[in-house]
A and B are shown apart, each in its own frame.
Chain A
């Protein structure tokens, strides 16, 4: 949902500009996902790079962007398991239930939801974003006021504005509001 509607058509035509938009927007999510299987970030990044190559050089066409994302999640998972097998870490696979489809779907649901939230925060003005980010670091209102050199009331107002803006941006993805409520009321 974070990508434009015609993006998948352009990707099916292997349009390089569209690829860049999709790659930059989806790469970190795929890394977060793969890191649940393999803790080493550098290996995770290699695997994610390879997964994008598999898509780009393949002939496969996709009906919508979610299906393409699903394809990449599955490809990355497959490559992670291969890596673990090569390293002789079959026990880790069994203990973590890494070969189970259930785990794959749970991780996808988790990451896809958080993507929406992340995108919403990115869309805020620099100041609102900073306030939200400080909140995310666990700062309380008085601490934010101190950090940004503004009054507590201003912090409250800015938080309220940010909240309104997010509600507008997200429309039916109200789930996000629940999480943000926790931030804003902290």
Chain B
């Protein structure tokens, strides 16, 4: 046996011993391991020491694996650019055109910099901002006002820090007191997140509107949404959490999920990451239960719901700064991008709209490299006029 495999076995032995769950043979094995040397005995004591574990966790958390992956992938694709471009062109001949693969974006960016910079600076990636509407109807644009704290009429405190609003409810609630409501409006090219008074977290995407009570009821939690949001709901069985969307109501215990419900789109997408949620449509009594990695698609016109198995991670990439598309027509891709990069668009022909791409992009990077990659497939051309992109 390889030494490393042996180490893993020892770890399991130690584990069982501590919880008195090992048989006598295992006990003997561990004892003989411990008796092999003073070092072994000391090591055992060190591993079960709580402070040591805590110190390790602190170090562990200081390393950001996702960020490191981006760096890693960038370095890798820089080395292999030639090979990758070839494979992209090969793909391009097929029906689906790869949009770009992670680090590739950097290559195109550096290669095209001059032409890009003179041409257009008008379309830029989005930023973090929002407009909050207080219960009394006052609107505060968080972009214009530097605001670190607000107090609502019931005494609840709203903190504003690093692109996130955080609610702390007052402890004592008077019986029968009216619940104050706030609304958060996210314009085009903006995003914002929110921690509700129960500790649940909501990340809101561009062109969204979210209404919620400043403090929740004793027996239920109810909010409403237009647009796209990712939810991480705190489990509280005594107070179910409801999300109301035009035509749909979602009941939640503790879980995380994404809802995409834009007024200008025919479908509402509900994607479950973990836990369980229940969907009810407004028109009939039917309900649907979603499991992790399932997505419910509601067609507004017919009120039909279809549940599909999906890779949920693909649909929540935007909260981590990534948009990814899986064999989607350019029309859908551009619609999504236009909300974040805040541009208008036009297609010169119906055929252009149908060209499909797959791949992902870092949403905090410029949009032009992606457009160039699309163009490099030879299937489409694009032209930028001010804030408008024309696809030909």
Which positions in A face B, CB cutoff 8 Å?
1, 20, 23-25, 27-29, 31-32, 35, 41, 45, 48-49, 52-53, 56, 64, 66-67, 69-70, 73, 102, 105-106, 108-114, 116-118, 125-128, 130, 136, 148-149, 172-179, 182-183
Contacts and interface: CB of A to CB of B under 8 A. Distances in A.
Contact of A174 (B7, B8, B19, B255): B19
Nearest to A31: B63
A53 B80 CA distance: 12
Interface in B1-21: 2-5, 7-8, 10-12, 14-16, 18-19, 21
Indicate the member of A24, A69, A117 with the most B CB atoms within 10 Å.
A24
A173 B39 contact: no
Nearest to B256: A126
Given A23-B72, A32-B56, A117-B53, A172 B12 contact: yes
A65 B168 CA distance: 45
Contacts of A56: 76
A49 B73 CA distance: 10
A109 B75 contact: no
Given A32-B60, A109-B7, A126 B234 contact: yes
B47 interface: yes
3 closest cross-chain pairs (CB), A and B? A175-B15, A70-B4, A174-B19
Contact of A136 (B12, B19, B54, B200): B54
Nearest to A69: B4
Given A32-B63, A126-B233, A112 B5 contact: no
A28 B8 contact: no
B187 interface: no
Contact of B68 (A49, A67, A178): A49
B60 A127 contact: no
A41 B67 CA distance: 14
A174 B21 contact: yes
Indicate the member of A41, A126, A178 with the most B CB atoms within 10 Å.
A126
Given A24-B65, A67-B4, A102 B39 contact: yes
A125 B200 CA distance: 12
Given A32-B63, A125-B254, A175-B14, A110 B47 contact: yes
Given A109-B10, A172-B12, A175-B15, A66 B254 contact: no
B5 A66 contact: yes
A105 B3 contact: yes
B218 to A, nearest CB: 13
Interface string B39-78: 1000100111010111011011111011011011101100
A67 B43 contact: no
A25 B169 CA distance: 37
B43 A178 contact: no
B199 interface: yes
B254 A70 contact: no
B232 interface: yes
A120 to B, nearest CB: 12
Contacts of B15: 113, 172-176, 178
A112 B7 contact: yes
A66 B2 contact: yes
B220 to A, nearest CB: 17
A20 B199 contact: no
B8 A66 contact: yes
Contact of B2 (A67, A106, A173): A67
A8 to B, nearest CB: 13
A1 B7 CA distance: 13
B60 A106 contact: no
Contact of A175 (B11, B54, B56): B11
A86 to B, nearest CB: 21
B171 interface: yes
Contacts of B255: 125
A126 B235 contact: yes
B43 A125 contact: no
A126 B231 CA distance: 11
B50 A182 contact: yes
Contact of B232 (A52, A126, A173): A126
A182 B2 CA distance: 33
A128 B234 CA distance: 9
A114 B56 contact: yes
A172 to B, nearest CB: 7
Given A67-B2, A149-B171, A176-B15, A127 B234 contact: yes
A32 B63 CA distance: 8
Nearest to A167: B19
B273 to A, nearest CB: 11
B275 interface: yes
